[in-house]
Each structure stands twice: as structure tokens, then as C-alpha cells.
């Protein structure tokens, strides 16, 4: 049984998001929450909120036991890129790419004690 939660169009680059997400892959949910709470990156706050949402989905929708949950899979993909222009000297313009990311967290129950 799996429980998922998805965050789409988050305004952070996928590369920076993967740095935070790699810290919690394979960890218990309580341990992952502690790691995210003390991670000093801006992306950690929305990822923590997404992890709590996935935990709530598992407990409320799939009747999973909260203490046995662990982060089975975390995916970070590139979302649409917002293209903006920055004025430069002599009438030129530079392209700014404001990247977005799609984050998916999948939780599973650990079996066997």
C-alpha cells in the first residue's frame, strides 16, 4: 500500500530541491520531519509541509499505521519555466529563467518487526 502527495509548480529550481529531498529518502517519517525542520534551506519548509500531507493521506485515506511509515520514493521533476527579461546596457536584454519544480512523495508501511 502506498500513499502519495504532490506539490506542483513550486518556485524553486529542481536542482536545489533535490539537495533537500535526498536527505530524507528512505528514512522514517518522524526522522524525515526532524531532518527537514533543522535543514537550513528555503525549500525545506514546503517539502516538510508536503511530507505531513503525505502522512495524513496515509493515515486517513489508506488506514496505515503512522509509526511504520517511511519515505519510499521522492521524485523532483522540472515544471514550466517562467521567462523574464533583464535590461542591460546599450538596449540589450538578458533572459532570466525562473524555474519551477514538481515534487512527489510516496510513503509505504515497513513490514515485519
* Burial class of 57 by CB neighbour count within 10 A (0 to 12, 13 to 18, 19+): middle
Q: Give the pLDDT confidence of 99-111 residue by residue, as tens digits.
A: 999 999 999 999 8
Contact 43, 16 (CB under 8 A): yes
Q: Give the pLDDT confidence of 40-99 residue by residue, as tens digits.
A: 999 999 999 999 999 999 999 999 999 999 999 999 999 999 999 999 999 999 999 999
Residue 15 domain boundaries:
2-109
The structural domain count of the chain equals 1
pTM above 0.85, yes or no: yes
CA 74 to CA 105: how far, in whole Å? Answer: 5
Q: Residue 112 — very low, low, confident or very high, per pLDDT cuts 50/70/90?
A: low
Mean local confidence (pLDDT), 13-33: 97
Is pLDDT of 113 > 60?
no
- Report H helices in the chain: 14-21, 29-37, 44-61
* CATH number of the domain to which 81 belongs: 3.90.470.10
Q: Give the pLDDT confidence of 34-47 residue by residue, as tens digits.
A: 999 999 999 999 99
Amino acid at each position: 500500500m502506498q500513499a502519495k502527495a504532490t506539490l506542483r509548480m513550486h518556485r524553486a529550481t529542481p536542482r536545489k530541491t533535490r539537495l533537500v529531498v535526498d536527505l530524507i529518502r528512505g528514512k522514517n517519517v518522524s526522522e524525515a520531519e526532524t531532518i527537514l525542520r533543522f535543514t537550513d534551506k528555503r525549500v525545506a519548509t514546503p517539502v516538510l509541509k508536503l511530507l505531513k500531507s503525505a502522512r495524513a493521506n496515509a493515515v486517513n485515506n489508506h488506514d496505515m499505521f503512522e509509526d511504520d511509515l517511511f519515505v519510499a520514493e521522492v521524485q523532483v521533476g522540472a515544471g514550466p519555466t517562467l521567462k523574464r527579461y533583464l535590461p542591460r546596457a546599450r538596449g540589450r536584454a538578458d533572459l532570466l529563467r525562473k524555474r519551477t519544480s514538481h515534487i512527489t512523495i510516496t510513503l509505504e508501511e515497513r513490514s515485519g518487526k
